[in-house]
Chain A
Amino acid sequence: MFGFTRQQGIAFLVMFAAVVIAPFFLYPVFLMKVLCFALFACAYNLLIGYVGLGSFGHAAFFGMGGYIAAYTAKKWGFNPEIAIITGAGAGAVLGAVFGWLSIRRQGIYFAMITLALSQMVYFFCNQAPFTGGEDGIQQVPRGNLFGLISLQSDMTMYVVVSVVFLFGFLLIHRIVHSPFGQVLKAIRENEPRATSLGYRTNDYKLIVFILSAGIAGLAGGTKSLVFGIATLTDVANAMSGEVILMTLLGGMGTIFGPVLGAIMIGSIENYLAQLGAWFAVTQGVIFVLCIMFFRRGLLGELAARLKLSL
């Protein structure tokens, strides 16, 4: 099912078991945050790892998904599931615009266009009245799932977030291992050749860009409901950088790598908060070490050593 190899199937079962067991040992709100970031990183990995398109502006989709989900849930009283889907839709629409403009160029030019567009989104969110400027949208209600189940308890919310995460993860896995995904990898390896085989590569790139942006919006929308806030942090440049780091640390182009990367960055942010000023230093040292010793990312390096495809 879903085109898992045997090892990937085992790895998925391990991850699934971890998702189920973890809230009994670790703090659920922290885990929800990690799951949202993991989904965001997976969405980013779909673009950079499998098509080779390095976007520097993914925070725009994540943040806008968060703002739209928070706004619709708070001001229009949308049910959480509808709000999250609206957020994903907002990410996808924004992705269509970004993608349409940016896929015409490659490499550093592509990256610069996405960076410029995401900065425009940041300034828009800073000024637009509906986002609440630098205060953000605050005190967003978690609401009732399908109008029935209250999400006020962290455990119920956790179940919803893990379902969203697993859905997104499997969707990405399915995309990557479909005939469509094969074409994507062909484009990554040699675009002129894919063109010569008769594929309209720009159409493929645009579709995967929209998918990636939509899933990023899904992750952002879910996160804003978990914390009850949507703020500038999520659309800021630093967030685009963070998702790149998660993907690179975990292992670009591996299906589980970004999840591992998100767990690492999330834990650093959470457990080193007590260190005060040493927080940034520790984070920097860890990055430098990882880049020096695990060039393919933690999981990428492990998979290469064990000759597995994870």
Chain B
Amino acid sequence: MSISRRALLGTAAAAGLSSHARAQAPTIKFGVLTDMSGPYQNVAGPGATIAAQMAMAEFKAAGFNVEVVSADHQNKPDVGVGIVRQWFDRDGVDVILEVANSAVTLAVQGVAKEKNKVFLASGAASSDVTGAACNANTIHWVYDTFMLAKSTGGAMVKAGGDSWFFLTADYAFGHALERDVGNFVKDAGGKVMGAVRTPFPGTTDFSAFLLQAQASGAKVLGLANAGTDTINSIKQAREFGIKMRLAGLLVFLSDVHSLGLEICQGLALTESFYWDLNPATRAFSDRFIAKAPGKRPTMVQAGTYSSALHYLKIASAMGPAQAKLDGAATVARLKATPTDDECFGKGSIRIDGRKIHPSYLFEVKKPSESKGAWDYYKLIGTTPAEDAFRPLNAGNCPLVKA
């Protein structure tokens, strides 16, 4: 079943809903929980709230009210859980959107299940969200570590980068990235020449590690780290004139924007959305930049829009009162319906809550190649939707066996 926005608007108009009738109609309430003041504020942050409001605006005339509230989880899981519980118990929020932080996401997942509400995660990286921790109330929209590892590891080897050395942040997340990417590199016929572990958190000087990487003779330097570690290691690799190709495993458009092309040029990275990918993404991004002057949407912000839009389509098909009633039942409907929007094109949602779409391997342009503001990426590889994510039965998600 597919419902177009136009058809819905048409139906609503034909039904002759006056504004008075709408005021008494049920309200769908979104809660955008995100990082407004910390390391993810540019990846998600206020832009995610704007994205949710854009989805809301498209359903203005659909016969029910949509509201968006937002809050800052400060990257503290207990603060996030406190806000979400209050939203569910007191403020009548139906759907939690975004939540850029894996620890907070996993915690919110539990609350969404307990209260039988809906959680559409966008910013979290952990593939556990649809693995061991999956539940019937959660959908993971944009990307996960498995997708990043597969695209950057596998597609990079095909594009010629067949020998790797890893700069790995010394904690579980870094180890997992290094292991996963290494496996894909080997599967694709490449080889891993070695790895060096950098203490986490708190490493600011990567020079010794970078020289060790250079000495290995590998063609690609895989950055199995995140946030400030990634930014520092990219900057220092440039300063030291490291001749290897850099592959960032968790780098976003907003990071490239703040570092600048001079430093980032040649960096390979994976995203599932880029504003300049095709006419549809450009149309969306033009509407976004009108709301957020000077900013192009990141994939997390696009995911917030896309997930909110899909929910609203289903909610208006089911009837909003019905959609609010039972979170798990609504999520089952969301999974059963194919997705279609400007940002990610046609896609689907698996039983384990994984949203499926292609992933793209990009290379950051040289300053001379860039035609203007935000013109940063060129596409060097695409992984089709069905291959982009972890196979359904490999994630240990309890919903899959059931």
Binding site for B on A (CB under 8 A): 27, 29-30, 33, 126-127, 132-136, 138-139, 154, 223, 227-229, 231-234, 269-270, 273-277, 279-280
Q: Are B200 and A126 in contact (CB under 8 A)?
A: yes
B171 touches A138 (CB 8 A): no
Asked whether B292 is an interface residue with its Cβ less than 8 Å from the other chain, the reply is no
B90 within 8 A of A: yes
Does the CB pair A273–B72 fall under 8 Å? yes
Given known A-B contacts A133-B171, A135-B102, A233-B76, A27 and B36 have beta carbons under 8 A apart: no
A30-B82, A127-B171, A277-B41 as given contacts; A136 in contact with B77, CB under 8 Å: yes
Closest B residue to A36 by beta carbon equals: B78
Contact of B128 among A135, A154, A277 (CB under 8 A): A135
A228 to B126, CA, bound (A): 19
Measured CA separation A269–B79 after assembly (Å): 8
Q: Which range contains the number of B residues in contact with the other chain?
A: 35 or more
Interface status of B86 (Cβ within 8 A of chain A):
yes
Inter-subunit contact B71/A228 (CB<8 Å): no
Interface residues of B in 75-91 (CB under 8 A from A): 75-79, 81-83, 85-86, 89-90
Report B-chain residues with C-beta under 8 Å of the C-beta of A29: 81-82, 85-86, 89
CB pair B77 A233 closer than 8 Å: yes
Are B37 and A133 in contact, with the CB atoms below 8 A?
A: no
Taking a contact as CB atoms under 8 Å apart, the answer to whether B72 and A30 are in contact is no
B200 pairs with A227, CB closer than 8 A: no
User: Which one of B45, B74, B107, B172 contacts A273 once the chains associate, using CB atoms below 8 Å?
Assistant: B74
Partner of B36, one of A127, A270, A277: A277
User: Is the C-beta of B380 less than 8 angstroms from some C-beta in chain A?
Assistant: no
B82 and A227 within 8 A (CB): yes
Shortest distance between the CB of A13 and any CB in chain B (Å): 29
A138 CA / B128 CA spacing, docked (Å): 12
Cross-chain contact of B72 among A127, A134, A138, A275 (Cβ < 8 A) = A275
15 additional contacts, CB 8 Å, given A132-B172, A229-B81? A133-B172, A135-B103, A138-B109, A138-B110, A138-B133, A227-B77, A227-B107, A228-B107, A228-B110, A270-B83, A273-B72, A273-B79, A274-B71, A277-B41, A280-B37
- Chain A residue nearest to B37 (CB atoms) is A277
**What sequence of 0s and 1s flags, for each residue 36-74 of chain B, a beta carbon within 8 Å of any chain A beta carbon?**
110001000110000000000000000000000111111
The answer to whether B102 touches A134 (Cβ under 8 A) is: yes
Chain A residues with CB under 8 Å of B99's CB are none
B223 at the interface (CB under 8 A from A): no
Nearest opposing residue in chain B for A231, CB measure: B77
Say whether B206 faces chain A, with CB atoms less than 8 Å apart.
Answer: no
Chain B residue nearest in CB terms to A30: B82
Residues in B neighbouring A228, C-beta threshold 8 A = 81, 107, 110-111
Contact A138 B107 (CB under 8 A): yes
Proximity bits, B85-123, A CB within 8 Å = 1, else 0: 110011000000000001100110111000000000000
- Whether the pair B79, A274 counts as a contact (CB closer than 8 A) is no
- List the B side residues contacting A227 at CB < 8 Å: 77-78, 81-82, 107
Question: Which of B78, B109, B133, B200 has the most chain A CB atoms closer than 10 A to its own CB?
Answer: B78
A276, B86: Cβ atoms closer than 8 Å: no
User: Are B171 and A276 in touch, CB under 8 angstroms?
Assistant: no
List, in ascending order, chain A residues with CB within 8 A of B75's CB: 233
Which among B102, B107, B170, B173 is the interface contact of A229 at CB below 8 angstroms? Answer: B107
CA distance A233 to B81 in the complex (A): 13
In the complex, are the beta carbons of B37 and A276 less than 8 A apart?
yes
- B73: A residues at CB distance < 8 A: 273
Q: B77 and A270: CB pair below 8 A?
A: no
Interchain CA distance A136-B133 in the complex, whole Å: 13
Bound: A132/B109 CA distance, A: 16
Question: In the complex the two chains form, what is the Cα distance from A33 to B37 in whole Å?
Answer: 22
Q: How far is the CB of B29 from chain A (nearest CB, A)?
A: 15
- Report the separation of the CA atoms of residues A270 and B80 in the bound assembly, to the nearest whole angstrom: 10
B85 cross-chain contacts in A, Cβ below 8 A: 27, 29, 154
Query: Measured between C-beta atoms, what is the minimum distance from B110 to chain A in Å?
Result: 4
Compute how far the CA of A270 lies from the CA of B86 in the bound complex, rounded to whole angstroms: 10
Q: Which among A154, A232, A279 is the interface contact of B74 at CB below 8 angstroms?
A: A279
Closest 10 CB pairs of A and B: A133-B172, A276-B36, A139-B110, A277-B37, A138-B106, A273-B71, A231-B77, A233-B76, A229-B107, A29-B85
A30 cross-chain contacts in B, Cβ below 8 A? 82, 86
Verify A276–B46 contact, CB threshold 8 A. yes
A147 to B124 Cα, complex, angstroms: 36
Contact A136–B103 (Cβ < 8 Å) = yes
The reply to whether A229 and B77 form a contact with Cβ atoms under 8 Å apart is yes
Contact present for A279 and B107 (CB under 8 Å): no
Contact A135 B126 (CB under 8 A): yes
- How would residues 162 to 192 of chain B score, 1 for a CB under 8 Å from any chain A CB and 0 otherwise? 0000000011110000000000000000000
CA distance A232 to B173 in the complex (A): 14
User: Could you tell me the distance between the alpha carbons of A289 and B81 in the complex, rounded to whole angstroms?
Assistant: 30
Nearest CB in chain B: distance from A9 CB, A: 33
B76: min CB distance to chain A, Å: 5
* Least distance between A73 CB and chain B CB atoms (Å): 14
Kindly list chain A residues whose C-beta atoms are within 8 Å of the C-beta of B110: 138-139, 228-229
CA of A229 to CA of B111, assembled, Å: 11
Chain B residues with CB under 8 A of A270: 79, 82-83
B78 touches which one: A134, A233, A279 (CB < 8 A)? A233
Q: Is the CB of A133 within 8 A of B200?
A: no
CA A233 to CA B101, docked complex, whole Å: 13
Q: Which B residues are CB-close (under 8 A) to A273?
A: 71-74, 79, 83
The chain A residue sitting closest to B85, CB to CB, is A29
Cα-based distance from A135 to B125 in the complex (angstroms)? 11
Complex Cα–Cα for A110 and B84 (A): 40
Beta-carbon contact of B77 and A269 below 8 Å: no
B-chain residues with CB within 8 Å of residue A279 when the two chains form the complex = 36-37, 72, 74
List residues of chain A with CB within 8 A of the CB of B172. Answer: 127, 132-135
Cα A227 to Cα B83 with chains together (Å): 11
Q: Which residue of B lies closest to A281 (CB)?
A: B37
- Cα A45 to Cα B203 with chains together (Å): 33
* A257 CB, min distance to chain B CBs, angstroms: 23
Task: Please provide the chain B residues from 133 to 178 with a CB less than 8 Å away from any CB of chain A in the complex.
Answer: 133, 170-173
CA distance A127 to B102 in the complex (A): 17
Q: Which residues of chain B (307-344) have a CB below 8 Å from chain A?
A: none
* Residues of chain B with a CB closer than 8 A to A231's CB: 76-78, 103, 107
**Please, which residues of chain A bring their CB within 8 A of the CB of B83?**
270, 273
Q: List 15 A-B contacts (CB under 8 A).
A: A126-B200, A127-B170, A138-B133, A227-B82, A227-B107, A228-B81, A231-B103, A233-B76, A233-B77, A269-B79, A273-B83, A275-B72, A276-B37, A277-B41, A277-B72
